[in-house]
Amino acid sequence: RKLNEPLLGLTTAAQNIVNADQTNYQETLPVPDTPDEVHNLSIEFNRLLQSLNQQVLRNRQFVSDASHELRTPIAGIRGHVALVQRHGRDHPEIIPDSLTAIDGESLKMQHLIESLLQLSRMDQAELQRSNVDLVSVISKGVAQLQPQVSQTIRLQVPAHAEAYVNADSVDQILSALVMNAHKYSAADSVIDVVLLETGPRVTLMVSDNGVGIPDDEKPKVFDRFYRVDSSRSKKVAGTGLGLAIVQKIVELNNGDVTIADNKPRGTRFVVTLPGKNENVI
Ligand code: ADP
């Protein structure tokens, strides 16, 4: 009976949560003082509930943010369509400008949708990892990126560095960080890409001499849709999803990404990846 009563209490409380018409995603189960087993069980159940509830709330916020972000370009497109419908016949000179605007807004939507799809696919992704020659992958990546940016990319790599990662992931991380460095720094400045062997791990650093990221914003820039100082960012094309994707890819590779200040100015992204796996050929 000592076990039965508190267990019955838990069962009833759980049923009440399931059958409730409304949920505020805050519900918890009662935690009886004794016996220890049931006390501990209900604490663990509550932790599970809390973690699932937080996930639901995060997903909800994500859908709401995504809809909001898609609404802006759609409104722009519809505005221009209405303008052309109303005045296009009498003032055909407005048509080319409207077409350019519609083209730009639909491109924005395309980028946004592609990034959203990539993020959602990564929720179920399991990456194929192998020992990858990072010196080669990073050098080739930089050679491909250099023609796409006005800044000079300075590359510094050791003679040899292998990491146990997915090679496409490394390309994606490098490209996202270099393109951000490009977007948020002066056109004639220098971007440094440095690869280091740090003990059992390998470190990739991408540094720029640009606008920098204030300390209190550093953790936030990895959040989906977050952009520093929207007025400033608005001038630079972007979705606010790039770094969320970078963080996800880095985590899928068992790595870690942090932000530091570059001296005397600018930002440094530091990505640490697992080194060569000796158990794999
Ligand atoms: P996006 O660049 O599309 O806005 P990201 O997720 O790549 O989205 O970056 C989020 C925000 O972080 C950017 O809007 C910008 O404010 C800031 N940021 C990212 N990289 C840099 C950088 N190298 N220097 C300064 N700010 C940056």
> Which of ligand 1's atoms lies nearest the C-alpha of 241?
6
Q: Please state, for a pLDDT cut of 70, what percent of the chain lies above it.
A: 98
pLDDT at 278: 84
Q: Using one digit for the tens of pLDDT, what is the confidence trace for 100-141?
A: 999 999 999 999 999 998 888 887 778 899 999 999 999 999
pLDDT digits (tens, 9 = 90+) for 144-196: 999 999 999 999 999 999 999 999 999 999 999 999 999 999 999 999 999 99
pLDDT of residue 109: 94
Exposure string of 192-224, with b = 16+ CB inside 10 Å and e = fewer, is: bbbbebeeebbbbbbbbbbbbbeeeebeebbeb
Cα distance between residue 162 and residue 168, in whole Å: 14
Q: Whose CA is nearest to atom 23 of ligand 1?
A: 181
Distance CA 221, CA 277 (A): 31
Of 216, 203, 206, 155, nearest to 182 by C-alpha is 206
Quick one: pLDDT band at residue 232, thresholds 50, 70, 90? low
Which atom of ligand 1 is closest in space to residue 229's alpha carbon? Answer: 16
The single-letter code of the amino acid at 110 is Q
Place of tokens 């009662």: 30
- Of the listed ranges 75-79, 113-117, 181-185, 202-206, the one predicted with least confidence: 113-117
**Arithmetic mean of pLDDT, 225-238:** 79
The set of protein residues with a Cβ atom below 6 angstroms from ligand 1 is 180-181, 183-184, 208, 210-213, 221, 226-228, 233, 238-244, 267
Question: pLDDT band at residue 51, thresholds of 50, 70 and 90?
Answer: very high
Q: In this structure, what are the phi and psi dihedrals at residue 168, rounded to the nearest 5 degrees?
A: -65, -35
Place of tokens 């023609």: 147
Ligand 1 centre and the CA of 95: distance in Å? 34
